[in-house]
Structure 1
């Protein structure tokens, strides 16, 4: 019996019972994709087992304890246009714990100006697209008048791109921006400010197709599409505790600390999923694990070119956590220019800190720093925080630590689109889910949830089972 199993209730006890043919499903992986797939299948009347190797759910969006602090491994946000993730929050009854801004408002502080620090804001007005950002762009102090006009022209050109054109995937976003008159400063102060955080790559390393999707959907589709939401509680409260509660209520059997070792298909069309010492039998299996783990578990012939999964690169995210003895930031978050710092978030209330202020610095595309020792990162980042936030200069650092996700996302490099598989495999009854699959989105929580819905829908369709009425409500909201 593995650690996550209940005593006297072996997994083999889930073998098919009389009259339940076509009802058993196994989901491998308890991240957002796996939890979503399990909920969707259970809501359709399937008997579902969710197997997760870690001791908790949530995948790469989780929390842990550090003394009295509850710490998120990294800062995660979503946008109003992330309709699938919003549906997920509703499904687990967590929407009130991760509210959206009433209106997009991003403070952007530049500390490299010779005249000193300068604050600008990216915010929207209650006007139709593209006028909703017109005043913000016209008064954005981090770009010259000529650069602002060039940004407007590039945005109109971007809006005219056809996201279904496969040729966009082969081009890099940086070259496209240069061709459309964007200066290095405009790329730094606007395009990469948004793109690095959402794509986990600078413009020159990102697929034009994915970048165009981000900007067209987030900034040019609906006036409120880019309004930002984030968890006001630890991520574990949402993606583990509330997710488990929803899974339990749906009748899903959830086993953590239970690592799957193999997946195989019988001649009768059913599947066997092996964990140490046990076997689970199922009619449908969803592999909701990272691409390299999926490659190891896929049976022969399940994909035409399984090696393509190994060609999907990964990109790191570094998170720097600093606890000060006093308040040093009077905003929920800000973005930074003229410094290696990217985005700084106040996590004081969410972490349970009672004295001082806890800041989380989110550093995407962090190839340079991801393997640096903590002492070196402290020496590098604390002076940058002093440049950005003058109140830190008189404050005492009570704690400094880092969290590293070396394979946080798939790398959105040009050509990655041809490598991302869909939910279906060539093995009947076996499906793929994960933010790295072909959702059309970059590696975000939104992509993960969409992939889980897609895998569940594919399985239900193949089994001839009706999908739950609410399952695709987010499509209507898009």
Structure 2
């Protein structure tokens, strides 16, 4: 434990004569969900211990060193409508390090046409919904005039869906799009362009409920809802260093490289959390770990059907990292059509690269590539990047490597909604958090933070502690 954390714990442990005993909590898992829950509980005056098995915080949104490069395991973005994650950035004093676009603007390059690459843009105007995207859609060169008109009709139908209707979860988005006049080209060039990146699934494999939530919230709720933000620094700077600093300042005891082996409910109503060499005792426990690990740690009777957690599938994300000897891309990022490449981001400055350019290729729903050898992926992706980005032709590839997250997200398949548990369990004082829980969002950083808020809120209610006002400020911005 850091000196700052020890000092804060000493302060937190001070007792005022005659005051009621302070409440205690253990948070298991140091991803965004766990860090959020720990901060929220500590801000409400609860003594919190956060336990994380890895040597760092951040979960699946982290950085590592590769020679002189600081590399993110994957490219993560958020939108202006992600009010909980924006609150999180503010809470850890990281807002300036992950700026938002002033206005949505996505370059989309199609390389499928015989006449060569063609650039289109998805961007918004300062007009009310849905007129804010009207001009962009009307001039989008990757769809025919009739396809653009059909997209507009489908968007209006999507806007009319009731997200609270459980029947939406049982349907797949692809079938709904086909029934509403969307051609395969429209699905590829628009719906999947956005949906694959946010849902980690193509339309035919995604729940209509989750897809409708993404498009209604991101594109059809507020003109600026879909403005894109991403970290201008390594993710570890935000989700590890700044998060740990915020935890220390809040008085949270943070234990890294520490695995929880069991969680037991005591006869006195409290909890015993067993870690190597120590038993942590607490009034409340938040499990903020993946669904399978949660299943293994749950005490008997905590959920009516714990086996449902194992039915929640997972979906992979592959990231291809290429370092060139020169600048090959002038834009900060682009999306691609007519190629297996999905999204390309310039990570040169964030990585600390001094010469050349470092591009990260983010590949969601990557089941076909996730287990391929690096040599195969090199032969597969470098020619595609040459088709997509003319500047790469003739440039020397100084480094090529991949990062793989085989269980990056839960699979947003039809029916997954009934499998996702809420924050509360049937065991008093035990709560669940994680992007896979019932937040209403797909597996995003936003969903992770919202789950941590929900778990903390439930715990504080049971512990008789008031909700910290600043924790729920994001609800007012939603």
- With the length of structure 1 as denominator, give the TM-score of the two structures: 0.97
Residues 270-296 of structure 1: per-residue CA shift (max 9 Å, x gap): 100001111100000000000000000
Stretches of structure 1 that go unaligned for 5 or more consecutive residues are: none
Q: Is the contact between residue 25 and residue 282 of structure 2 (CA under 8 Å) also seen in structure 1? A: yes
Residues 156-201 of structure 1: per-residue CA shift (max 9 Å, x gap): 0000000000000000000000000000000000000000000000
1:212 Cα deviation (Å)?
Answer: 0.1
1:21 Cα deviation (Å)?
Answer: 3.8
Matched, 1:450 2:450: yes
2:393 corresponds to which residue? Answer: 393
Pair 180,274 (structure 1): closer, same or farther in 2 beyond 3 Å: same
Q: Is the contact between residue 22 and residue 283 of structure 1 (CA under 8 Å) also seen in structure 2? A: no
CA distance in 2: counterparts of 1:345 and 1:82, whole angstroms: 20
CA distance in 1: counterparts of 2:391 and 2:80, whole angstroms: 33
1:393 Cα deviation (Å)?
Answer: 1.1
1:29 corresponds to which residue? Answer: 29
RMSD (Å), alpha carbons: 1.5
1:33 Cα deviation (Å)?
Answer: 0.2
Q: How does 1:227-306 map to 2 (within 5 A)?
A: 227-306=227-306
Pair 49,149 (structure 1): closer, same or farther in 2 beyond 3 Å: same
CA distance in 1: counterparts of 2:297 and 2:22, whole angstroms: 22
1:471 Cα deviation (Å)?
Answer: 1.2
2:193 corresponds to which residue? Answer: 193
- The 10-residue stretch of structure 1 (130-139 or 467-476) with the greater mean CA deviation from structure 2: 467-476
2:45 corresponds to which residue? Answer: 45
1:420 Cα deviation (Å)?
Answer: 0.1
SS in 1 for 2:391: helix
Q: Is the contact between residue 101 and residue 227 of structure 1 (CA under 8 Å) also seen in structure 2? A: yes
CA distance in 2: counterparts of 1:70 and 1:23, whole angstroms: 39
SS in 1 for 2:367: coil
1:20 Cα deviation (Å)?
Answer: 6.0
Q: Is the contact between residue 33 and residue 288 of structure 1 (CA under 8 Å) also seen in structure 2? A: yes
Residues 420-460 of structure 1: per-residue CA shift (max 9 Å, x gap): 00000000000000000000000000000000000000000
SS in 2 for 1:268: coil
Stretches of structure 2 that go unaligned for 5 or more consecutive residues are: none
Q: Is the contact between residue 22 and residue 45 of structure 2 (CA under 8 Å) also seen in structure 1? A: no
SS in 1 for 2:443: coil
Matched, 1:100 2:91: no
1:39 Cα deviation (Å)?
Answer: 0.2
CA distance in 2: counterparts of 1:92 and 1:267, whole angstroms: 37
- With the length of structure 2 as denominator, give the TM-score of the two structures: 0.97
SS in 2 for 1:37: helix
1:82 corresponds to which residue? Answer: 82
2:336 corresponds to which residue? Answer: 336
Residues 21-57 of structure 1: per-residue CA shift (max 9 Å, x gap): 4510000000000000000000000000000000000
2:209 corresponds to which residue? Answer: 209
Q: Is the contact between residue 316 and residue 408 of structure 1 (CA under 8 Å) also seen in structure 2? A: yes
Q: Is the contact between residue 22 and residue 463 of structure 1 (CA under 8 Å) also seen in structure 2? A: no
2:118 corresponds to which residue? Answer: 118
Residues 322-366 of structure 1: per-residue CA shift (max 9 Å, x gap): 000000000000000000000000000000000000000000000
1:5 Cα deviation (Å)?
Answer: 9.4
CA distance in 2: counterparts of 1:308 and 1:423, whole angstroms: 15
1:391 Cα deviation (Å)?
Answer: 1.2
Q: Is the contact between residue 314 and residue 409 of structure 1 (CA under 8 Å) also seen in structure 2? A: yes
Query: Following TM superposition, where does structure 1 have runs of at least 4 consecutive aligned residues deviating by more than 2 angstroms?
Result: 16-22
